[in-house]
């Protein structure tokens, strides 16, 4: 469970409704934590580190462009890997069976909050 004292607001629920997924960065400098937030098929908010398990680079080439056009899967824009929204498991592309790293997330009113990993 996310800790109210250390978690960070990364977007609003309304942003997820409009775009399907929202990218964020926590921290500064050369290595901030980059991630994405989305709602799964049941409406539960999920968060993952924005890093392809195949090549280790960001999933989206354009800001917030994390989903396939039908919003059914998370995509890696570089190599075409597809990941289940609910689990982060790769179901197509160069890394089948590997998963995106999940982050702790909670919804507080309209705010979506992430607990940075320690």
Domain limits, the chain: 8-115
CATH architecture assigned to 8-115:
3-layer Sandwich (2.102)
Residue owning tokens 């680079």: 57
Please tell me the predicted confidence (pLDDT) of residue 5.
59
> Residue 92: is its pLDDT beyond 50?
yes
Which of 53, 11, 56 minimizes the C-alpha distance to 31?
A: 56
Residue pair 90/97 in contact (Cβ under 8 Å)? The answer is: yes
> Residue 33: is its pLDDT beyond 50?
yes
At a CB cut-off of 8 Å and minimum separation 6, what does 91 contact?
Answer: 73, 82, 83, 84
> Residue 2: is its pLDDT beyond 60?
no
pTM: 0.88
% the chain with pLDDT above 70: 93
Side-chain-side CA neighbours of residue 2 (13 Å): 20
Which of 49, 59, 114 minimizes the C-alpha distance to 82?
A: 59
Q: Measured between alpha carbons, how far is 72 from 24 in angstroms, rounded to an integer?
A: 21
> Residue 66: is its pLDDT beyond 60?
yes
Average per-residue pLDDT for the chain? 88
Please tell me the predicted confidence (pLDDT) of residue 4.
60
């Amino acid at each position: 469970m996310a800790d109210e004292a250390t978690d960070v607001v990364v977007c609003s629920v309304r942003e997820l409704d409009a775009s399907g997924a929202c990218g964020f960065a926590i921290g500064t400098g050369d290595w901030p934590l980059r991630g994405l937030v989305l709602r799964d098929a049941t409406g539960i908010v999920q968060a993952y580190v924005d890093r392809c398990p195949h090549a280790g680079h960001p999933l989206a080439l354009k800001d917030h462009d994390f989903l396939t056009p039908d919003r059914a899967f998370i995509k890696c824009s570089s190599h075409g890997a597809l990941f289940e929204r609910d689990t982060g498991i790769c179901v197509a592309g160069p890394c089948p069976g590997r998963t995106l790293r999940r982050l702790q997330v909670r919804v507080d009113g309209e705010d979506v909050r992430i607990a940075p990993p320690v």
